[in-house]
Structure 1
Amino acid sequence: MATVSPELLAQHNLTVDEYERIRKALGRDPNLTELGLFSVMWSEHCSYKSSRIHLKTLPTEGPRVLQGPGENAGAVDIGDGLAAVFKIESHNHPSFIEPYQGAATGVGGILRDIFTMGARPIAILDSLRFGPPTDPHTRRLIAGVVAGIGGYGNAFGCPTVGGEVMFEDCYAKNPLVNAFCLGLARAD
């Protein structure tokens, strides 16, 4: 069994407190595979561990809210018997590792959640952050991410209708790739 050190926890993006929670849940020290699994499941990508506190401040209930936060997409009654169904997802690290597939699978996930609600997807938007545009690696990321978002949506007849992009040095090693999908469904 690997010795659990602060360096090993840092490599897994786990805190000492999180490690102690793992030990308590298992009733023993985790092996390296278990540590890796907890690392993935408790990552920002899967558990929103650092953004959950901010997400809780947003309104989630109201007379027109048909489906609030959860596993699938949200839905709001927009009148005339229709509902706007929407989902946003980040695919930051996957897009850094493999830009086209990382971005495409992010769009695939939100399309799935729109379909799951019985809605027809009608539009995709994106919000992207990259490192310096003069860096060849950044240009490769941009080309792959934009092609992945558009390619997956277009395959379902759902166009990318807008987006935004910003460049800042702090995103050179960790781009932000956020995709949003809007769908329409019957409100019933």
Structure 2
Amino acid sequence: MKKKLDKIDMELVKAHGLTEEEYEKIKKILKREPNLTELGIFSVMWSEHCSYKSSKPVLKKFPTKGEKIIVGAGEENAGVVDIGDGLACVFKMESHNHPSAIEPFQGAATGV
């Protein structure tokens, strides 16, 4: 028989890939402690695979407007730059192939 979880602790929060700050934000959003299912949902939705949480700050450094920019970084799922002669170059980041050092088991390993 499985033991019932009485309370979510920081060990469990960290096992879900969340920081203490993120856990506090979850409690603020819900206006209460999350249950285990809710913790799991936030964990997945805020993972690198779904939210690009470690990549987003870098992507925000790229220009989103300009004479040669057709689609700015982050507007869709890729950035598109006019390279002349009716051609464009598309830059796309795929979370499934994210560096293994950041997230080796939740999608990143498919790119190894």
TM-score of the superposition, structure 2-length normalised?
A: 0.72
Gaps of 5+ in 2: 99-104
| Displacement of 1:32 | 0.6
In 2: Cα distance, 1:46 partner to 1:31 partner: 21
**Residues 27/41 of structure 1: CA separation in 2 closer, same or farther (3 Å cut):** same
Greater strand share, structure number: 1
Corresponding residue for 2:81? 76
For residues 98-129 of structure 1, the C-alpha deviation after alignment (integer angstroms, 9 at most, x for no partner) is xxxxx3xxxxxxxxxxxxxxxxxxxxxxxxxx
**Residues 17/88 of structure 1: CA separation in 2 closer, same or farther (3 Å cut):** closer
Greater helix share, structure number: 1
SS at match of 1:13: coil
Is 1:21 the equivalent of 2:25?
yes
For residues 29-52 of structure 1, the C-alpha deviation after alignment (integer angstroms, 9 at most, x for no partner) is 111111001001111222222232
Corresponding residue for 1:115? none
Alignment length, in residue pairs? 99
Corresponding residue for 1:50? 54
Contact 2:52–2:95 (8 Å) recurs in 1: no
Contact 1:2–1:31 (8 Å) recurs in 2: no
Which stretch shows the higher mean deviation, 84-93 or 24-33?
Answer: 84-93
Corresponding residue for 1:143? none
In 1: Cα distance, 2:52 partner to 2:61 partner: 14
Gaps of 5+ in 1: 97-102, 104-176, 179-188
> Cα RMSD between the aligned structures?
2.2
SS at match of 1:77: strand
Contact 1:64–1:78 (8 Å) recurs in 2: yes
In 2: Cα distance, 1:45 partner to 1:2 partner: 29
Q: 1:1-188 counterparts in 2 under 5 A?
A: 2-70=6-74, 71-91=76-96, 92=98, 93=105, 94=107, 96=109, 103=110, 177=111
